[in-house]
Structure 1
Amino acid sequence: MARLTLEFPEHLFYYHTMMSVRTTDINGGGHLGNDNMISMISEARARFLYEARISEGRDANGIGYVATDLATTYKAEAFARDTLRFDLGLMDLNKYGGDIIFRVTRPADGKLIAMAKAGFVFFDYKAKKVTPIPEHVRAGLPAHINWVS
């Protein structure tokens, strides 16, 4: 099976947040477990969406953000009490959604820990179908974002 490769242009990253690896995030191998890395990526995504004023819940019209997929590659181990930097950005945006991209590094030594990409769409829970990204969401994102029709 071919290995997954995730590489993203530097200019796509425009948000970051920091988190510490907890002792409870460590697995039997003595490093940050993949399940807990996914939880940290999810928390970074939630912080990113909050800062962009994008609710992960349904709005008054029944429209909500839905995660569609997640790809993650691990590059190095992280350990308890490591502070990790999560850089985030957007790419491959279209009428309905796109991808949030992640780069996870350890600032103490500059080591790349992981890369990830999480797909998303907006969903109309009343009509039970994918719906275009709400205009207020588009308006809340940086002007330099490239949209694909």
Structure 2
Amino acid sequence: FIPLSRVYLGVHFPTDLLGGYILGAVLLLLYLWLEPGAEMWLRGRGRAWQLGAAVAVPALLMLLFPTEDGVTTGATLMGMAAGFVLERSWVGFEAGGAWWRRLLRFLLGAAVLVGLYVGLRVAFSGAEPALLFRFLRYGLVGLWGALGAPWAFGRLRLAETRR
């Protein structure tokens, strides 16, 4: 409904919506086609190579888009990508479990995420260089979501882990 509201508000034309839907569908189909092979290729590489890619790709994006939004996106992606690589080998998080455990994981994970986001925003307020501290903040937020939370859930026995 959000895209329709953009037309209603006069921000976009209906053809913009159609173009967005088509572009989104093409990107989704491209992902579905490429992802299995890319995953197998990446799994065939060592952890060091995977971590290198987890750092290099977002770093390239941040170099191409050295703005607040570019750093926000790149740092979050870098933290998450590195976290996923490390989580797979260090934690082995299993997402299943009783509904109440999943609810507790959500509440705890969201609380820490908000705490990191707000706490680091306050701690780094006015600190220079601003983009560096923005990078640290969003990188840690991404790392928490991909590695810190699964590790904490395993330690608190809110989730099963393979490690």
In which range does the TM-score fall when normalised by the shorter chain?
0.3 to 0.5
TM-score (normalizing by structure 2): 0.32
Rg (Cα) greater in structure: 2
Please, what TM-score do these two structures have when normalized by structure 1?
0.34
Greater strand proportion = 1
- Structure with higher helix content: 2
